[in-house]
Amino acid sequence: MKTTVYFNIGSNIGDRRAFIARAVAALYTLPGVKVDAVRQSEYVESEPWGFRSDNSFLNLGVAVDADIDAPWSEAGLEGLVKYVKEVEKSISSMPHRKPDGTYGDREVDIDIIAVDELVFASDTLTLPHPRMHLRSFVLGPLAELAPGWRHPLSGLTAAEILLSTK
């Protein structure tokens, strides 16, 4: 069964391209899937979202096209989140949040944006990403990678959502 998992990877300190490249390389070994292709968008430079910093982010959209034996299960999706968090920690030990809970600068941040057109919610994952409609640095790359992808709740494409944010 064919599946596509959409990610957005960002970095705003250090060797941003190197951190992102390490994250992309790890996506070739997603657990529970046979990866057919890893497609990348153009890089997008953006201001930090949700916090103030002098360091701009470099962001990359990534689509992992793969085969799975059965439809996504809760356990499979939770395993995906766990794997992504392990990859982040293997690249950087920096926390994503400050002690007060606010966002901070980071060497790498990997967000799962969507898995096909699934709707899913748990304590660790919401699909599609619940704030994607607020982030042009997510919507632009997603529209580039998957122009036909439609948000399963709104029915809009990423490009249409992006236009509505301007």
Nearest to 11 by CA among 135, 106, 112: 106
DSSP string, 58-126: EEEEEEEEEE-SSS--HHHHHHHHHHHHHHHHHH----SB-TTS-B---S-EEEEEEETT--EE-SS-E
State mean pLDDT over 30-48.
95
pLDDT one-digit tens code per residue, 70-102: 999 999 999 999 999 999 999 998 777 767 777
Model confidence at 4: pLDDT above 90: yes
pLDDT one-digit tens code per residue, 98-156: 677 778 889 999 999 999 999 999 999 999 999 999 999 999 999 999 999 999 999 99
Q: Model-level pTM?
A: 0.95
Cα–Cα distances in angstroms (integers) from residue 156 to residues 20, 71, 114, 160, 162, in the given order: 28, 23, 14, 6, 10
- C-alpha 15, offset from chain centre: 19
Residue 166: predicted pLDDT = 62
* Band (10; pLDDT cuts 50, 70, 90): very high
* Band (50; pLDDT cuts 50, 70, 90): confident
Measured CA to CA, the distance from residue 33 to residue 64 in angstroms comes to 10
